[in-house]
């Protein structure tokens, strides 16, 4: 089957990430999509830019309309942003019968109603997973995964810059202007931070999520927006004393009177999972009447994280174009004839760190014996905790955290430790994972 040809409009942060991710993982992506996918053309502001990623074989032009009008392009990926030229390009591409993938939240929040009507008229689809919460597949989760539910409310940390600032204010006791200046220096915040810090970006995303949750047209102009610039260190500390953490949340709620749509600083009880989403990370908490609360967490911005959503949308479009409707998505994600024969490893071949609890007699030299045995198996020690004699029989619990080692070496070490005359009980071993 012929490959699907993609035209990418805009080779900035997300555009370069999209080219990079699609090319790096093309083998797995084709196994999933069931068809070749090729970025054949791209538009950029300038042609003589230095690029630190592979654009070989891509016809790059400065004339984005030329791509939109190209009959050989099947899917147009709009990554220019804003509501000016981007809107004209998308409208023209729809007019030409092309499917659209976009990461443009402002475009969808402000002009989505018009664009979707046009797309329906022309029988094409507009995919916009990347417009909300970057790489987190939140649109898909709400639109398909939770379709059984009446959504009661949702609340999201959907601006990474704002969350970075709030996290620094709490963790380091710093004030807003100080953290903002640093975020600007680090490139986390724009020179004009209004869009992020005053909640406009979050309101775009919230508007989109609310429409999907409640089945209402997009109404960005009705969203209430309040920024975080007025929150002081004093407030952060008083909130903490009272058991709360302040987050900049976008909240949409179905009430009997209507829909609440609001972005503002919010106190949340400190033990809630969403209160512990820190730094530039995003998370969305959704309350459905059947499923209860579910939460989705991940990177809300960044080149490859956003590209992850863009490319997933491309795969979605390609699957729809390609397969029979009943088997659009393969049962095991990859096409049935494309499963790999990678072996499953026996546990003895697995590499992890370990927690060991060893009850020994309270005699000199025991620890030396144990550390010698571990050393013989090439096992490095991360930490040792030697406790006071426990109640049962005067043995001393020795707790050891090790560095990573293959399990069969640990098996041998434990065998040797248990053979020591000073060790009377089996060694308790629990594997450790940093999950970082």
Residues between 4 and 33 that touch its own copies (CB under 8 A): 17, 21-22, 24-25, 28-29, 31-33
If one asks whether residue 343 binds its own copies (CB under 8 A), the answer comes out as yes
Residue 205 annotated as catalytic: yes
Which neighbouring-strand residues pair with 250?
156, 263
If one asks whether residue 91 binds its own copies (CB under 8 A), the answer comes out as no
Binding-site string for its own copies from residue 196 to residue 215, where x marks contact by CB under 8 A and - marks none? ---------------xxxxx
Angstrom CA distances, 69 to 7, 108, 243, 366, stand at 10, 22, 57, 78
CB of 398 to its own copies, least distance (A): 10
61 vs 329 by CB, closer to its own copies:
329
The span from the CA of 301 to the CA of 165, in Å, is 15
Question: Which of the stretches 76-84, 111-119, 164-172, 193-201 binds its own copies when contact is defined by CB under 8 A?
Answer: 111-119
If one asks whether residue 174 binds its own copies (CB under 8 A), the answer comes out as no
Q: How many residues bind its own copies (CB under 8 A)?
A: 151
If one asks whether residue 171 binds its own copies (CB under 8 A), the answer comes out as no
Q: Are 252 and 209 within 8 A, CB to CB?
A: yes
Residue 149's H or E segment, with its range, is: none
| Catalytic option among 87, 98, 205, 253 | 205
If one asks whether residue 2 binds its own copies (CB under 8 A), the answer comes out as no
Please name which of 250, 242, 247, 244 lies closest in space to residue 231, comparing C-alpha atoms. Answer: 247
Options 45, 49, 328, 372; binder of its own copies; rule CB under 8 A: 328
Angstrom CA distances, 377 to 125, 372, 421, 423, 427, stand at 58, 9, 20, 18, 16
If one asks whether residue 430 binds its own copies (CB under 8 A), the answer comes out as yes
The span from the CA of 157 to the CA of 213, in Å, is 16
If one asks whether residue 296 binds its own copies (CB under 8 A), the answer comes out as yes
The span from the CA of 161 to the CA of 176, in Å, is 12
Q: Are 32 and 333 within 8 A, CB to CB?
A: yes
CB of 201 to its own copies, least distance (A): 19
Contacting residues for 181 by C-beta, under 8 A, at least 6 apart: none
65 vs 406 by CB, closer to its own copies:
406
CB of 136 to its own copies, least distance (A): 6
If one asks whether residue 420 binds its own copies (CB under 8 A), the answer comes out as no
If one asks whether residue 244 binds its own copies (CB under 8 A), the answer comes out as yes
282 — phi, psi (to 5°)?
-110, 160
Q: Show which residues are catalytic.
A: 205
């Amino acid at each position: 089957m012929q490959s699907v040809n993609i035209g990418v409009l805009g080779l900035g942060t997300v555009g370069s990430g999209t080219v990079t991710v699609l090319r790096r993982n093309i083998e797995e992506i084709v196994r999933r999509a069931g068809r070749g996918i090729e970025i054949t053309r791209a538009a950029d502001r300038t042609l003589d830019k230095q690029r630190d990623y592979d654009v070989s074989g891509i016809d790059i032009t400065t004339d984005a309309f030329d791509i939109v009008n190209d009959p050989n392009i099947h899917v147009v990926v709009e990554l220019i942003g804003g509501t000016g030229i981007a809107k004209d390009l998308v409208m023209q591409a729809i007019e030409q019968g092309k499917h659209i993938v976009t990461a443009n939240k402002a475009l969808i929040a402000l002009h989505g109603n018009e664009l979707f009507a046009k797309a329906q008229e022309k029988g094409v689809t507009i995919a916009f997973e990347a417009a909300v919460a970057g790489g987190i597949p939140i649109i898909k989760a709400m639109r398909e995964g939770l379709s059984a539910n009446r959504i009661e409310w949702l609340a999201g940390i959907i601006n990474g810059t704002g969350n970075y600032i709030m996290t620094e204010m709490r963790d380091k006791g710093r004030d807003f202007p100080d953290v903002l200046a640093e975020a600007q220096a680090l490139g986390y915040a724009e020179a004009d931070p209004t869009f992020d810090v005053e909640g406009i970006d979050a309101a775009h995303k919230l508007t989109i999520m609310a429409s999907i949750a409640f089945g209402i047209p997009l109404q960005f102009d009705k969203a209430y927006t309040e920024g975080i610039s007025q929150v002081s260190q004093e407030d952060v500390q008083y909130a903490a004393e009272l058991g709360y953490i302040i987050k900049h949340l976008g909240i949409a709620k179905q009430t009997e009177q209507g829909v609440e749509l609001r972005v503002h600083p919010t106190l949340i009880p400190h033990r809630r999972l969403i209160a512990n989403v820190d730094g530039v990370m995003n998370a969305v908490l959704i309350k459905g009447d059947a499923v209860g609360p579910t939460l989705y967490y991940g990177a809300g911005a960044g080149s490859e994280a956003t590209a992850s959503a863009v490319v997933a949308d491309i795969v979605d479009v390609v699957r729809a174009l390609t397969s029979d409707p009943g088997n659009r998505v393969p049962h095991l994600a990859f096409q049935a004839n494309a499963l790999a024969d990678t072996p499953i490893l026996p546990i003895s071949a697995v590499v992890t760190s370990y927690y060991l609890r060893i009850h020994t007699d309270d005699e000199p030299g025991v620890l030396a014996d144990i550390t010698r045995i571990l050393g013989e198996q090439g096992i490095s020690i991360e930490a040792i905790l030697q406790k006071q004699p426990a109640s049962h029989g005067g043995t001393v619990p020795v707790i050891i955290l090790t560095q990573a080692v293959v399990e069969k070496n640990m098996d041998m070490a434990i065998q040797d430790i248990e053979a020591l005359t000073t060790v009377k009980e089996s060694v308790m071993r629990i594997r450790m994972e940093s999950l970082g």
